[in-house]
Amino acid sequence: MGKKLYIETLGCAMNVRDSEHIIAELKEKEQFELTDDLSKADLILINTCSVREKPVHKLFSEIGYFNKKKKTGAKIGVCGCTASHLGDEIIKKAPYVSFVLGARNVSKITEVIHKEKAVEVDIDYDESTYAFSDFRSSPYKAFINISIGCDKKCTFCIVPNTRGEEISIPPELVVQEARRAAQNGAKEIFLLGQNVNNYGRRFSDRDRKIDFTDLLKMVSEIGEVKRIRFTSPHPLHMDDKFLEEFANNPKICKSMHMPLQSGSTKVLRDMKRGYTKEWFLDRAMKLRSLVPDVHISTDIIVGFPGESEEDFADTIDVVEQVKFEQIFSFKYSPRPLTPAQNYPNQVPDEIASKRLSFLQDLHLSMLDAISQKEMGKVYEVYFEELKPGGYVAGRTDNNWIVKVKGSEELLGRFVDVKITKPGRLSLEGEVLVNEKV
Ligand code: 5AD
Ligand code: SF4
């Protein structure tokens, strides 16, 4: 009987991809099989996130639980961003943890599992050209890393300290991986990086002149690739060349994540985001005029140190002007190793909570109007997932989740669907008969 691996993944799409790399390496080189039964696992991994404080607290209660439920002799390993920033403190606090593996050290997974109390958390480690084994959780879409780390120094963000400096993955490796994935059936390619449109900033193998727009063109030339998505771009690097390629390249899905963080130019300056309220609005409006159907999502932090009522009103003003289709909103969470944790004028929790509820309620009411406008539209949906109650779900090019009555024969297909029922998180529709390839 093969050894069994149980893995829990928290956090962003990059963490999801790191977990796929971990699974791939352990399957191929150490003959592990995946299990979702904790008590049967020989190796239990938790791939953590440390962007806010909550998941870090969750880590220690989670591994305590794993330790109680695990079978005798099973090992527990902690990976990801919290592993990077807490390092050996994790083993001091939870001595039953066998090893700690940082977010930038994933390729060492097959080494650390054989070393008792190994701590591999070097944030200068360069795995940008490491050839990982292949594993994907979905046969229909492929996450592909295009860079590692982040060179921005946003003052609230711990990521530069957990994932290290930014290095771009050579374009020929990205294209090769995209081609292989698409030939194996993943018609949708999801390019990943902390800051994708800063692509080309630094390569560890040699100097070259290439930017994200060039990379998008290269990936879109692969015949089997039908759709391209990416996350996360930075508003500062949304130049005209990039927005025009986004608008004119039919393979690029018309859904853009534009992390606003704050609508106040003063707060943006304190956050060191590198753009103003006006720049953000100009880019968003240009995007809406170039791509009328575009779906714009964003991240917003409320209660950043020094945020006044007027600053918050600027955030609300941007939300009302841009009419984001999706907002991920967070209360500011002071993080270790970041400058903003020491800023004066930390905003009291009750005020931050109030602002967060106001923003979320406002957006919910806007969403009803946004989704109502979708009624009767016809979209091409790429079906990816079976849902309870005899439904199949997929996404439109502009990122609406659409559910229809149907079964597995729809999976992996592009089908025209007419929207019959609006919703805040997903729409419902009916398949039109003229099915496409
Ligand atoms: N507090 C709250 N939210 C944060 N984010 C990053 N750091 C923090 C923090 N210290 C949010 C940002 C980022 C998203 C991934 O998480 O909005 O875009
Ligand atoms: Fe963090 Fe800013 Fe880098 Fe995003 S761009 S990962 S928010 S430092």
Among 268, 270, 291, 288, which residue's Cα sits nearest to residue 278? 268
Q: Quote the pLDDT of residue 347.
A: 98
Contact 54, 333 (CB under 8 A): yes
- Cβ of 198 closer than 6 Å to ligand 2, yes or no, is no
The three-state secondary structure class of 397 is coil
52 CA → ligand 1 middle, Å: 7
Could you say which DSSP state residue 106 is in? G
Structure tokens at 229: 């998505």
**79 is annotated as contributing to ligand binding:** no
Q: What is the CATH architecture assignment of 255-370?
A: 2-Layer Sandwich (3.30)
DSSP of 409-425, one letter per residue?
GGTT-EEEEEEEE--SS
CATH topology of domain 378-431: OB fold (Dihydrolipoamide Acetyltransferase, E2P) (2.40.50)
Neighbours of 424 (CB within 10 A): 12
Q: Quote the pLDDT of residue 434.
A: 59
Task: Find the DSSP H helices in 104-149.
Answer: 109-112
Helix (H) or strand (E) run with residue 283 in it: helix 277-290
Q: Quote the pLDDT of residue 54.
A: 83
189 CA → ligand 1 middle, Å: 25
* Domain 136-253 in CATH 1.10.287.110: no
The answer, as to whether pTM is greater than 0.85, is yes
- Cβ of 335 closer than 6 Å to ligand 1, yes or no, is yes
Pick the CATH number of 3-120 from 3.40.50.150, 3.10.180.10, 3.40.50.12160, 3.30.1360.120: 3.40.50.12160
The amino acid sitting at 401 is: I
Domain spans, the chain: 3-120, 136-253, 255-370, 378-431
Taking the CA of residue 151 as reference, the ligand 2 atom at the shortest distance is 3
Q: Quote the pLDDT of residue 186.
A: 97
- Cβ of 150 closer than 6 Å to ligand 2, yes or no, is yes
299 CA → ligand 1 middle, Å: 8
* Percent share of the chain, pLDDT over 90: 96
Q: Quote the pLDDT of residue 424.
A: 85
Residue segments in the chain with a per-residue pLDDT below the cut of 50: none
- Furthest CA-CA distance within the chain: 63
Pocket test for ligand 1, best of 14, 81, 82, 156 (most atoms within 8 A of CB): 156
pLDDT tens digits for 264-296? 999 999 999 999 999 999 999 999 999 999 999
Q: Which ligand is nearest to the CA of 352?
A: 1
Burial of 59 (0-12, 13-18, 19+ CB in 10 A): buried
Binning the chain into helix, strand and coil, the percentages to the nearest 5 are 40, 25, 40
CA distance 43 to 76: 6
- Cβ of 194 closer than 6 Å to ligand 2, yes or no, is yes
- Cβ of 394 closer than 6 Å to ligand 2, yes or no, is no
Q: Quote the pLDDT of residue 2.
A: 86
Contact 177, 224 (CB under 8 A): no
Q: Quote the pLDDT of residue 436.
A: 54
- Cβ of 195 closer than 6 Å to ligand 1, yes or no, is no
- Cβ of 51 closer than 6 Å to ligand 2, yes or no, is no
Taking the CA of residue 160 as reference, the ligand 2 atom at the shortest distance is 8
51 CA → ligand 1 middle, Å: 6
| Intrachain domains 136-253 and 378-431 with the same fold | no
